[in-house]
Chains A and B, each alone.
Chain A
């Protein structure tokens, strides 16, 4: 089954404790992206990757890191989480980032930072 998986689905952590949210897709997609979803703000892009070893900032990259060492994986790293990073996070992938292809979203990771 073609899908985007994220882990964990729920995470409660404390300020300053490094964490990683994993994202994996099995569709051989070139483009991958991370979004955060907050009430009233819709989806805001954090980082995206056009292909392996090619990543770039989205609209709200502060406090986040990403890497794309393999085509299928695109982990989101919070080196020192803060309460304002409490949010619902989505990973998405698409066949290409330069053409208007459908984005496939993972099920989301709800992060709470206390």
Chain B
């Protein structure tokens, strides 16, 4: 089955700098890759997603890139702000999975230093 690895587990960046979180997946049939943000004391919330027919997607300060050949995808946050501090999860989904489930990475705690 699918396996998703996420790195780093903790990332500390200066306010205003960029942050990059990387995930790799194992199943080449996976075709959907969402990113969720979990703020302290809350449930995860979708911030951006990408499908396998697209190489890059942007939404204001966040972007996701997908490299199907290497089987990895990354979240890029530019001009980081204090409110970006959170735990970020990547996930992957394969249409061949009979459970229709998302397979999640272990999460990255992003710390924005003032």
Contact = CB atoms under 8 A, between A and B. Distances in A.
Interface stretch (A13-21, A40-48, A71-79): A40-48
A45 B106 contact: no
Given A90-B43, A90-B44, A108-B42, A100 B49 contact: yes
Interface string A21-33: 0000000000101
Given A90-B44, A106-B43, A40 B101 contact: no
Nearest to A33: B101
Interface residues of B, number: 22
Contact of A42 (B32, B45, B93, B104): B104
A40 B6 CA distance: 10
A65 B21 CA distance: 35
Q: Which of B32, B43, B89 has the most CB of A within 10 A?
A: B43
Nearest to B51: A100
Nearest to A9: B41
A50 B51 CA distance: 22
B95 to A, nearest CB: 9
A46 to B, nearest CB: 11
Given A58-B99, A100-B32, A42 B46 contact: no
B11 to A, nearest CB: 15
Q: Which of B6, B34, B100, B106 has the most CB of A within 10 A?
A: B100
Chain A: number of interface residues, binned into ranges: 20 to 34
Instruction: Tell me the dominant secondary structure on chain B's binding face.
Output: loop
B96 to A, nearest CB: 13
A98 interface: yes
Nearest to B91: A43
Contacts of B101: 33, 45, 48, 58-59
23 contacts: A31-B100, A42-B6, A42-B89, A42-B107, A43-B44, A44-B104, A48-B99, A50-B100, A92-B43, A97-B100, A100-B49, A100-B93, A102-B46, A102-B49, A103-B102, A105-B42, A105-B43, A105-B45, A106-B43, A107-B41, A107-B42, A107-B43, A108-B41
Interface of A: 4, 31, 33, 40-45, 48, 50, 56, 58-59, 90, 92, 97-98, 100, 102-103, 105-108
